[in-house]
């Protein structure tokens, strides 16, 4: 039980097998140690045990908000979905913005925990502190967009005003390992296959009704002081400044041209580091230009609106409308998630710069509920496999029309190739006979930053607890944007420490749960003031940073118990050993490779880990007093480290 500000002390535990709903409070010590959202959600998943089958009824699916979710804090509309990932086998947490996190808080909940498996499809209806399971057989098989419309008609509310929806689509129902959960139409908890877990439980959706009901801060003066400081920094920032900063004007896709210019954009399944260098290497091929899918190009040609999430002055969402042809038929799409990562994965990395068809692909991914990053990587891997003659029924580089079709086929596991690709890039590449063509870490595909040119991303991908990910520790903030200070992206020295710092900082914001984009402007001082102000706690900056480290370490500890160690902190061979045909065309990064071993050594030293494993002493120092321990001691050099089996 807790009476900390920012909490309702109210969590629903839903047994889908029996249909029973129980309610419980939040353990105050856990709330202090792990904050909420990601941190608390991972703790719930940890308590369920690391050996569960991710797609079995015993896996826990936790929808968690944090003490700052749905408050006046800027960009505080986020929610964390925590579970054991069917894609990686690690613990994972995947967040989305919009309004569902805030609305869950306003409906009286700190979190919803789903266990078991329903006999028939159901959805969870949430209102005024109560959860009710309702029949979803009429929604099963429907895409996200149709589900959205049917729920609105059935419930009678209005999205954005008093109604929110988190749903999966056919991909989740068919247990595609990278199926996601979509909020309304476009915002996704994209990574790690949370939608597949939802589908495995016969849970179609979570529907929440509530009007805006913000909670009062425990210490209003401190809270307001922190809020003012933060808001001033956000307004003055070149990145977040409303209507002026790059993120506000162009959205996340402002990075497309930037990455291309610095040879940090993986192209052609990461064989090259820019579309320019790819064209230089092989001018005889049809070549592409990243600029055609950039935020600048999108803004000039297809932008129709700039919607926001709860309490966001930045408005990074860029709503676009396109009319294009698909298989001889006109296709009109209006959507609001033309994000950098999605545009890259389904664009330059798959050798297409067909801006409008990429919008269609992203929309198809949203409607089917699949992770755009994993889908793009999986398709580009299949294109390379086709070129290498590894598969007979294949897909050609840059075939945008076929990519659109393939997204739906994968979501339905329609045919042998689609069924293989539904397992994700790594498993499919293994089946095709060449695992090296999968650009994955721990089974999850890379996002849009090339670790040969942006070295911090190399150690970030490798040590991410949920598989390759840019959002665990966003070192490009320093390496590209100069926040808090500019560092050389191509230098490896210091990147282990930088990566750990960002990982801890983001573990905090993910547990509040507020958008990471706050960190482009504000820092730990503003975090502390707003957190203390809302909860009534009195933590120092150092104590809050240690909490971030505790959360990150708890995740690593879970993974260690699930069998992961330093060997899994790896990168695809292409990034550390070179790609024979790519080197001549790598432009400014010619010859650059990710110095992973050196960065790992530095990183483990900062963390106090032994070959990727948390020693028991470190668990004690951080106050992680749950579970059996890893059996590894820092004093004996890790002699008892788990084997690699």
Partner 1 sequence: MTDEFAFQIESRLMSHGVYVTEVDAADESERYHVTYESMAADAGTIPHREIGRVINVFRDLHDDDWAGAEIAGTVLDLEGRERGRWHVEADWLDELHNGELTETEFSGRVIETVEPST
* Chosen residue from 155, 231, 583, 634 binding partner 1 by CB under 8 A: 231
Segment contacting partner 1 by CB under 8 A, of 36-44, 231-239, 373-381, 555-563: 231-239
Instruction: Say if residues 570 and 438 touch (Cβ distance below 8 Å).
Output: no
Between residues 83 and 164, which has the closer beta carbon with respect to partner 1?
164
Segment contacting partner 1 by CB under 8 A, of 191-199, 206-214, 367-375, 512-520: 206-214
Between residues 89 and 241, which has the closer beta carbon with respect to partner 1?
241
| Pair of tokens at residue 346 | 């389904």
Between residues 17 and 72, which has the closer beta carbon with respect to partner 1?
72
Does 200 bind partner 1 (CB under 8 A)? Our answer is no
Does 228 bind partner 1 (CB under 8 A)? Our answer is yes
| Pair of tokens at residue 50 | 């690391």
Does 464 bind partner 1 (CB under 8 A)? Our answer is no
Bridging pattern class, strands 122-127 and 203-209: parallel
Does 74 bind partner 1 (CB under 8 A)? Our answer is yes
Q: How many CA atoms lie within 13 A of 177 on its CB side?
A: 25
Does 71 bind partner 1 (CB under 8 A)? Our answer is yes
Between residues 228 and 581, which has the closer beta carbon with respect to partner 1?
228
Task: Please list, residue by residue across 230-250, b when 16 or more beta carbons sit within 10 angstroms of its beta carbon and e when fewer do.
Answer: bbebbeebebbbbeebbbbbb
Does 156 bind partner 1 (CB under 8 A)? Our answer is no
* Chosen residue from 10, 224, 490, 598 binding partner 1 by CB under 8 A: 224
Bridging pattern class, strands 79-84 and 319-326: unpaired
Give the CA distances from residue 374 to residues 266, 423, 441, in Å, rounded to whole numbers and listed in that order.
Answer: 14, 10, 12
Instruction: Give the residue from 352, 358, 354, 313 showing the smallest Cα distance to 337.
Output: 358
Between residues 311 and 342, which has the closer beta carbon with respect to partner 1?
311
Segment contacting partner 1 by CB under 8 A, of 68-76, 139-147, 334-342, 421-429: 68-76
Does 72 bind partner 1 (CB under 8 A)? Our answer is yes
d(CA 594, CA 574): 9
Does 235 bind partner 1 (CB under 8 A)? Our answer is yes
Segment contacting partner 1 by CB under 8 A, of 2-10, 71-79, 195-203, 283-291: 71-79
**Which residue do the tokens 């502190």 mark?**
129
* Chosen residue from 4, 150, 155, 214 binding partner 1 by CB under 8 A: 214
Between residues 307 and 584, which has the closer beta carbon with respect to partner 1?
307
Does 581 bind partner 1 (CB under 8 A)? Our answer is no
State in angstroms the smallest separation of the CB of 535 from partner 1: 16
d(CA 232, CA 249): 18
Between residues 71 and 257, which has the closer beta carbon with respect to partner 1?
71
Segment contacting partner 1 by CB under 8 A, of 207-215, 245-253, 314-322, 537-545: 207-215
d(CA 126, CA 133): 9
Tell me if residue 176 falls in helix, strand or coil.
coil
Segment contacting partner 1 by CB under 8 A, of 81-89, 228-236, 506-514, 600-608: 228-236
Instruction: Say if residues 61 and 15 touch (Cβ distance below 8 Å).
Output: no
| Pair of tokens at residue 43 | 């703790």
Tell me if residue 457 falls in helix, strand or coil.
helix
Instruction: Say if residues 464 and 500 touch (Cβ distance below 8 Å).
Output: no
d(CA 391, CA 380): 13
Task: Please list, residue by residue across 122-147, b when 16 or more beta carbons sit within 10 angstroms of its beta carbon and e when fewer do.
Answer: bbbbbbeeebebeebeebbebbbbeb
319-326: strand order across its sheet:
303-305, 319-326, 329-335
Segment contacting partner 1 by CB under 8 A, of 34-42, 66-74, 82-90, 512-520: 66-74
Between residues 17 and 229, which has the closer beta carbon with respect to partner 1?
229
Instruction: Say if residues 440 and 192 touch (Cβ distance below 8 Å).
Output: no
Binding mask 289-328 for partner 1 (x = CB under 8 A): ---------------------xx-x---------------
Size of the site for partner 1 (CB under 8 A): 16
d(CA 585, CA 523): 39
Which residues contribute to the site for partner 1 (CB under 8 A)? 71-72, 74, 212-214, 216, 224, 227-228, 231-232, 235, 310-311, 313
């Amino acid at each position: 039980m807790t009476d900390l500000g920012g909490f309702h002390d109210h969590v629903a535990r839903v047994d889908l097998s029996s249909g029973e709903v129980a309610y419980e409070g939040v353990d105050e010590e856990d709330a202090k140690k792990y904050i909420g959202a990601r941190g608390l959600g991972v703790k719930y998943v940890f308590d369920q045990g690391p050996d569960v089958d991710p797609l079995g009824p015993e896996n826990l699916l936790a929808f968690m908000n944090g003490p700052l979710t749905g408050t006046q804090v800027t960009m505080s509309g986020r929610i964390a979905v925590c579970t054991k990932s069917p894609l990686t086998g690690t613990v994972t947490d995947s967040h989305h913005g919009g309004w569902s996190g805030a609305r869950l808080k306003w409906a009286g909940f700190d979190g919803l925990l789903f266990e078991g498996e329903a006999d028939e499809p159901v959805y969870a209806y949430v209102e005024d502190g109560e959860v009710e399971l309702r029949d979803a057989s009429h929604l099963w098989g429907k895409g996200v967009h149709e589900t959205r419309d049917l729920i609105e008609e059935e419930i009678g509310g209005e999205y954005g005003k008093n109604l929110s929806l988190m749903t999966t689509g056919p991909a989740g129902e068919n247990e595609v390992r990278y199926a996601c959960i979509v909020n309304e139409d476009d915002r996704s908890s994209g990574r790690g296959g949370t939608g597949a877990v939802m589908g495995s439980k016969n849970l179609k959706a979570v529907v929440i009704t509530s009007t805006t009901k913000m909670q009062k801060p425990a210490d209003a003066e401190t809270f307001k002081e922190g809020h003012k400081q933060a808001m001033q920094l956000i307004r003055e920032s070149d990145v977040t400044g409303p209507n002026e900063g790059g993120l506000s004007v162009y959205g996340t896709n402002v990075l497309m041209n930037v990455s291309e210019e610095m040879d940090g954009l993986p192209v052609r399944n990461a064989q090259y580091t820019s579309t320019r260098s790819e064209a230089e290497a092989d001018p005889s091929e049809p070549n592409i230009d990243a600029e055609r899918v950039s935020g600048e190009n999108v803004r000039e040609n297809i932008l129709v609106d700039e919607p926001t999430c709860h309490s966001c002055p930045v408005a990074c969402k860029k709503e676009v409308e396109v009319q294009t042809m698909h298989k001889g038929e006109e296709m009109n799409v209006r959507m609001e998630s033309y994000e950098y990562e999605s545009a890259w994965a389904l664009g330059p990395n798959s050798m297409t710069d067909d801006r409008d068809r990429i919008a269609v692909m992203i929309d198809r991914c949203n409607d089917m509920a699949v992770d755009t990053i994993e889908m793009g990587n999986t398709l580009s891997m299949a294109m390379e496999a086709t070129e290498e003659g590894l598969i007979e029924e294949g897909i050609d580089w840059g075939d945008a029309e076929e990519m659109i079709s393939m997204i739906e086929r994968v979501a339905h596991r329609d045919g042998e190739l689609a069924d293989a690709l539904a397992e994700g890039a790594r498993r499919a590449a293994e089946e095709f006979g060449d695992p090296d063509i999968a650009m994955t870490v721990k089974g999850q595909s890379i996002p849009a930053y090339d670790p040969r040119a942006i070295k911090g991303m190399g150690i970030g991908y490798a040590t991410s607890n949920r598989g390759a990910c840019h959002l665990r520790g966003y070192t490009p903030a320093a390496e590209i944007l100069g926040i808090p200070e500019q560092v050389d992206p191509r230098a490896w020295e210091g990147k282990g420490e930088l990566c750990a710092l960002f990982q801890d900082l983001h573990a905090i914001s993910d547990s509040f749960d507020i958008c990471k984009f706050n960190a482009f402007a504000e820092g730990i001082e503003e975090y502390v003031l707003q957190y203390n102000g809302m909860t009534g706690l009195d933590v120092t900056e150092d104590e809050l940073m240690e909490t971030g480290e505790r959360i990150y370490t708890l995740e690593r500890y879970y993974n260690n118990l699930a069998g992961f160690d330093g060997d899994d902190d790896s990168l695809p061979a292409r990034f550390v050993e070179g790609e024979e045909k790519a080197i001549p065309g790598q432009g400014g990064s010619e010859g650059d490779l990710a110095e992973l071993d050196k960065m790992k050594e530095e990183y483990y030293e900062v963390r106090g880990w032994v070959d990727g494993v948390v020693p028991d002493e470190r668990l004690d120092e951080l106050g992680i007093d749950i579970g059996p321990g890893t059996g590894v001691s820092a004093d004996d050099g890790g002699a008892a480290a788990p084997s690699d089996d």
